[in-house]
Amino acid sequence: MRLLQIYNQYRSQNCGEERAVFDVLNLMKKKGVEAKLLMQTSRGLESSLRGKLRAFSSGIYSFSAYHEVSRVVADFRPDVVHVNNLYPLFSPSVLKACQRAGMPVVMTVHNYSLTCPTMYHLYRGAVCERCLGGREYWCVAKNCRNSNSESVAYALRAFAARKLRLFLDLVTLFIVPTEFTKNLLVRAGFSPDRFVVLRNMVVTDGEPADPASGQYVGYAGRMSPEKGVDILLRAATQLPEAEFRLAGAGPAVEDLTKMAPPNARFVGLLDELALRQFYREARFLVVPSRWYEMCPLVISQAAGHGLPVIVSNLGGLGEIVENGVNGLTFSPESADDLASKIKSLWENPALCTTMGRAAYDRAVATLGEKVYFDQLMGVYDKARRLRSEGASVA
């Protein structure tokens, strides 16, 4: 089998979505699948007017990407094309190239670009669904990118893709991480029978750690407003007896550092080896997001190390972390509730061990390497069958 993956790399580094794309690529090669990744990067585009203009024009419909993908498909002759993020340099034009070549297309929905122009469903720190179902003009009216030109560009590309039905008609099957994501897309007009719920693969690191011996409450992720790190820091203020360590980088790190209590320490952006050690020395992790997270890679990584996770009960996170089984959930935006949940685990190391083992066992059984490969190959086979039957268009 031959697999072509297409991915537009984001501006920010160490993105969980990027890691998930490379995990699939490496898994396919390991299992003997002839796999190729076609990737472009958005890094550096924002630093010049030329780059911004390129992102604007290509984001709506990139003729150069269309011709590039047409050429690669003709040369490589894949059995399936697996697309991920396409904005801004590929654009949905590549879906048209795949259709004309008769290729089945599987798309992993890593973000909310199909239902929200800015991908976050977040406005001024609160969940927002104004643009859902063909109302992209709200992105301009509310200036959601805090830049009139960027807000217009994001709204236009979302409008064009919807009106031309590029995603609606040209993707054979969508992979989504949760039922919540599926339901949101169905509300936006997508056919419910075109979705497969499949979360990120879990890569284990030998035997799981014993979280009972963990030294701190951990956070690993981007330091930006939607991640809710400020909520975690307010909870940490109420728990001086517990140590908190936060790994990652991002635009809000300076402000967050200023508000951090003495028992919270920022350890910066960690490489793969250091991040592995970070997980293995934590008692549990916290994902305090205030937006509709998709499937944070940190939860999969924590499970692979045998750690429970506390998550905000928002979007699909409650599907990934079952309260009282492999972790705990707390009321979104409530630092008091989060502090209560952190305290309950911090003071009960044995419970951390039990939940961590449940997280590990569940992850290996349902999303371990072999199981994940079989499930993904099943998605590819179904997409090929649907395409051959002429059923790729809803």
Residue 353 lies in a domain: yes
Q: Which of 214, 280, 222, 215 is nearest to 246 (CA)?
A: 222
pLDDT in tens, the chain (394 residues): 999 999 999 866 667 888 899 999 999 999 999 999 999 988 766 666 666 677 767 888 999 999 999 999 999 999 999 999 999 999 999 999 999 999 999 999 999 999 999 999 999 989 999 999 999 999 999 999 999 999 999 999 999 999 999 999 999 999 999 999 999 999 999 999 999 999 999 988 778 999 999 999 999 999 999 999 999 999 999 999 999 999 999 999 999 999 999 999 999 999 999 999 999 999 999 999 999 999 999 999 999 999 999 999 999 999 999 999 999 999 999 999 999 999 999 999 999 999 999 999 999 999 999 999 999 999 999 999 999 887 544 4
Let me know whether 129 and 180 are in one domain. Answer: yes
The per-residue pLDDT for 12 is 65
Residue-wise DSSP of 317-330: HHHHS-BTTTEEEE
Amino acid identity of residue 256, one-letter, is L
Residue 12 lies in a domain: yes
Residue 236, SS3 per DSSP: helix
Count Cβ atoms below 10 Å from residue 275 Cβ, excluding itself.
18
The per-residue pLDDT for 48 is 67
Length of the chain: 394
Residue 345 lies in a domain: yes
Let me know whether 120 and 177 are in one domain. Answer: yes
Amino acid identity of residue 274, one-letter, is A
Residue 337 lies in a domain: yes
Residue 393 lies in a domain: no
N- to C-terminal Cα separation, the chain: 26
Position of tokens 């599907």? 319
The reported pTM is 0.93
The per-residue pLDDT for 394 is 40
Are 90 and 40 within 8 A, CB to CB?
yes
For residues 248 and 256, give the distance between their C-alpha atoms in angstroms, rounded to a whole number.
12
Residue 19 lies in a domain: yes
The per-residue pLDDT for 375 is 97
Let me know whether 157 and 292 are in one domain. Answer: no
CATH of the domain at 44: 3.40.50.2000
DSSP 8-class letter at 97: H
Residue 240 lies in a domain: yes
Are 289 and 312 within 8 A, CB to CB?
yes
Q: Give the dihedral sign, CA 39/62/87/151.
A: positive
Q: Which domain holds residue 20?
A: 2-201+369-388
For residues 303 and 357, give the distance between their C-alpha atoms in angstroms, rounded to a whole number.
8
Q: Which of 332, 288, 280, 330 is nearest to 307 (CA)?
A: 280
Let me know whether 333 and 297 are in one domain. Answer: yes
Q: Which of 331, 281, 277, 322 is nearest to 299 (CA)?
A: 322
Let me know whether 140 and 222 are in one domain. Answer: no
Let me know whether 255 and 167 are in one domain. Answer: no
Let me know whether 320 and 373 are in one domain. Answer: no
Let me know whether 217 and 185 are in one domain. Answer: no
Let me know whether 325 and 384 are in one domain. Answer: no
Residue 75, SS3 per DSSP: helix
The per-residue pLDDT for 13 is 60
Let me know whether 233 and 373 are in one domain. Answer: no
Let me know whether 290 and 317 are in one domain. Answer: yes
Element containing residue 173 per DSSP (H, E): strand 173-176
Residue 394 lies in a domain: no
What region, left, alpha or beta, does residue 221 occupy, with left being phi > 0 and alpha being psi -120 to 50 degrees? Answer: left
Give how many domains the chain has, as a whole number. Answer: 2
Q: Which of 222, 227, 105, 249 is nearest to 173 (CA)?
A: 105
Burial status of residue 324 (CB atoms within 10 A of its CB: 0-12, 13-18, 19 or more)? exposed
Q: Give the dihedral sign, CA 227/228/230/232.
A: negative
Let me know whether 224 and 330 are in one domain. Answer: yes
Residue 221, SS3 per DSSP: coil
